[in-house]
Amino acid sequence: MATEPKAKNIGGDSRIKAGLIWMNGQMVPQEEAKVSVLTHALHYGTSVFEGIRAYDTPKGPAIFRLPEHVERLFHSAKVLMMEIPFTPQEISQAIQQVVRENGYKSCYIRPLAWMGAHTLGVNPLPNNPAEVMVAAWEWGTYLGDEAVKKGARLITSSWARFPANVMPGKAKIGGNYVNSALARIEAQQQGADEALLLDKEGFVAEGSGENIFFFKGNTLYAIEHSVNLMGITRDSVIAIARDLGYEVRECRATRDQLYMADEVFMVGTAAEITPVSYLDHRAIGKGVAGEHTMRLRRAYLEAVQGQNLKYEAWLSYVN
């Protein structure tokens, strides 16, 4: 029987170095990108954001699925009744400008729009139009290289994913992520790499910031959308898996179904494709990164790094 390794503490106190930040239409050094302590979003979580990656490709840095990410940013703002004072095209250009002017070959990109400091009542709308920034920094493997090589260790969180009539889970709203933060803290304090959250009915929802997949034989199962964020990486992985010849089914699943799966993995912009080796101290399959998972990961990285022209439409070249 495989022996479960102990997780490393992947936290740290190194500060983000973002260089030049696009803020409300101007490029400014990170030290000058400041907001008021009376900002509504700081008090009430009224912000929307995206996580995007740019990759080094043979044609220079390229942003993965930029139009889809910008579209989701504006959809999230609509849910919050937030007015973004820039067009989607202007935000897309700002994202490309940040990557280009910082000289990044590959990086993680964070567009953020937030309700400002006009008023501090609970109602955020007097703070429209929102303020906007785009920052980027070099960021490697989200859960660490060891998690990719050996598989991440997960625990099921005592914090459930909020139901759809409590919080708008299809929108990337800052306040939603307190739920994720509590789950992630709990997981790491218990020696795991990441948390698995269930919905109010006890079915698998998602990780603290990732969608969940599992293999049973040669069939790939994608956890269906209920309260889950509609993941752009999830959509990409389903397309790639089908191109590789896998049958893909969407399903609801309980956590014990994941215990019995041959392979489990997580996907997201930050996590990319990260295999899961243990869930709740139970080995998934042989307790190592699965063969099908790693095949998908290789194909995904070829797509995002411009090495497979079949997926070139997903890339927005910076230069």
Residues with a catalytic annotation lie at: 172
21: CB partners within 8 A, 6+ apart: 27, 28, 29, 30, 33, 98, 133, 134, 135
Is residue 79 within 8 A of residue 173, CB to CB? The reply is yes
Is residue 84 within 8 A of residue 65, CB to CB? The reply is no
Handedness of CA 119, 120, 121, 127 (dihedral sign): positive
Chain mean position to CA 23:
22
List for the chain the helix, strand, coil content (%; round to 5): 30, 25, 40
Torsional class of 114: left (φ above 0), alpha (ψ -120 to 50), beta (otherwise): beta
Query: Which residue type is seen at 78?
Result: K
Task: Give the other-Cβ count within 10 Å of 106's Cβ.
Answer: 18
Query: Which residue type is seen at 247?
Result: E
Q: Between the CA of residue 255 and those of 1, 90, 299, what are the distances in Å?
A: 21, 43, 27
